[in-house]
Copies of this chain bind each other. A is one copy, B any other.
Amino acid sequence: MTRLNVLDSSFLIAENRETPMHTGGVSLYSYPKGVDKRKFLNGLKEILLAGTDLRPMFNQRLSNNLLSKANLTFSWEQDQDFDIEYHIRHSALPRPGRYRELFALISRLHSTLLDRNRPLWEMHLIEGLAGNQFATYLKTHHCMLDGVAAMHLTDSMLSASNRGRVNQSPLSLEAWEHYKKKNLATRKAVSASSSDIKSLADKLTEQIGSGKNLAQAVMKYANVWLGGNPALNAPWHAVPRSIISSEVTGSRRFVAQSWPYQRIRAAGRALGGTLNDAVLAMCAGGLRRYLLQSGALPNKPLKAMVPISLRVEGDLESSNAVGFIVANLATHLEDPGERFTTIRESMLAGKELYSGLSAGEAELFTQIAMSPMVISKLLSLEKALPAFNLVISNVPGPKKKMYWNGARLDGIYPASIVVHGQSLNITLVSYGDQLDFGIIACRRSLPSIQRLLDCLEDTLSEMEEFAGLV
């Protein structure tokens, strides 16, 4: 029995029918030249089904004791009736098998809860895509994997060569140990998190007493309410209402698209910022256009929560290890240059806040700053009092083109989580020379979210034009 820590547990506590807490990854692959497509896909399925000794949590279920029934504490235990055929699923698209049909299927698959009586994951092999492609959709509960951990999993089944073959299941303990040995020195994570809520309180008292840096960081946040630092943004502070802030229903709409890494980086550099600043500016401008078209742009700027990884290099064990910065998206500004500058300054102010902290302090700070969020989720206050408008998350993926037993990986598109008050999530993965955007939205709150893809492209063009690049 492994007890889940507070952050991991919070994803279970906050979950209900309207706000499932799983994330998904959609991967597009090209079949190797000249293969029999059906045989090839069945071969991959065989490899996935063959896994017996799986890595932790992939063959474990939540223990069904009284405390977990009351949503108080959770532990993992071996699933004695583990049935891998339940988890590995073969799906298909109706003709003509465009991305549109793929997005419709992913939207539906992402809208349903995982079965808490079983290990909290599903893997779909999806055939029927037009052209020479197939897709996978991996759905895992956020309590067992965060974005970076999911990316390690994807990595572990891939090779950098089209001649590479991995014939053990990517979910097997063997594959995982092999991957860990090959790629990273295993170190135990520096973890300030604790096993249950009571001892978190003890830890906080204990560590804040000796943590001058931490106290200063908390003070800086408090100062935001007093108007002390206009560039720094804090959760719950000056968050405008819009259709993005609505109460969500259980159904989702998923869309995705890739952009060239070079295009976005060049725009960012020309405007005096980082790649990530450019990504945020692209999302900000895209949202501004989308909301203007919907007649729903708020007067005050939208605020985005931007997760930053607190994962210590070599930590492959933690399920979740993230901090965050609140970015001012400056969606009220028409001028793309002013918008970019405002976004950049808010990111710098947020980074500065974390810069004086050790890894352990940073994790603890995140828990302090976020703990009202966990509580407000419990009390369903988010609809009235959102901490920010949406999450925009940038997850580093493989740097080179990768292959799954000869099939080229063409893109990795994340489908993340929406909650009450935040009916949209944009998560992107950097992969090779491209950035893969995955957008998930509450289907009822946000009309025709596929329009946002055009809005993102239009904004990138606008930025390029403004910077004199085209």
Contacts and interface: CB of A to CB of B under 8 A. Distances in A.
Interface of A: 17-18, 38, 81, 83, 86, 89-95, 101, 104-105, 108, 111-113, 115-118, 125, 127-128, 249-251, 443-444
Given A81-B444, A251-B115, A251-B118, A90 B94 contact: yes
B94 A128 contact: yes
Nearest to A115: B250
Contacts of A444: 81, 83, 117-118
Nearest to A37: B95
A86 B111 CA distance: 12
B94 A92 contact: yes
At the interface, is chain A mostly helix, strand, loop or mixed? loop
A115 B38 contact: no
Given A86-B251, A94-B127, 7 more contacts: A17-B116, A18-B117, A92-B93, A115-B249, A117-B249, A117-B251, A118-B251
A195 to B, nearest CB: 26
12 contacts: A18-B117, A83-B443, A90-B101, A91-B105, A92-B92, A92-B93, A92-B94, A92-B128, A94-B125, A115-B249, A118-B249, A128-B128
Contacts of A38: 95
B104 A90 contact: yes
A95 B91 CA distance: 9
Nearest to A90: B94
Contact of A117 (B94, B108, B250): B250
A32 B340 CA distance: 60
A81 B447 CA distance: 11
A113 B83 contact: no
Nearest to A114: B250
Contact of A112 (B83, B93, B104, B112): B112
Given A112-B112, A444-B81, A444-B83, A127 B95 contact: yes
A108 B118 CA distance: 15
Nearest to A93: B92
A445 to B, nearest CB: 10
A112 B93 CA distance: 19
Given A81-B444, A117-B444, A444-B81, A108 B89 contact: yes
A265 B108 CA distance: 43
A18 to B, nearest CB: 7
| A18, A83, A86, A118: most-surrounded residue (chain B CB, <10 A) | A86
A92 to B, nearest CB: 4
A443 B87 CA distance: 12
A383 B105 CA distance: 36
A105 B91 CA distance: 8
A255 to B, nearest CB: 15
Contact of A113 (B17, B86, B105, B116): B17
A123 to B, nearest CB: 13
Contacts of A128: 92, 94, 128
Contacts of A17: 113, 115-116
A116 B105 CA distance: 20
Contacts of A118: 249, 251, 444
A127 B86 CA distance: 22
A246 to B, nearest CB: 11
A415 B384 CA distance: 41
A414 B378 CA distance: 39
A60 B125 CA distance: 35
The 6 closest A-B pairs by CB, nearest first: A117-B249, A92-B92, A112-B112, A92-B94, A90-B94, A115-B250
A86 B443 contact: yes
Contacts of A94: 90-92, 125, 127-128
A95 B134 CA distance: 13
Contacts of A93: 92
A117 B246 CA distance: 14
Contacts of A104: 89-90
A241 to B, nearest CB: 19
A221 to B, nearest CB: 35
Contacts of A83: 443-444
A71 to B, nearest CB: 13
Contacts of A89: 104, 108
A444 B119 CA distance: 13
A118 to B, nearest CB: 7
Contacts of A250: 115, 117
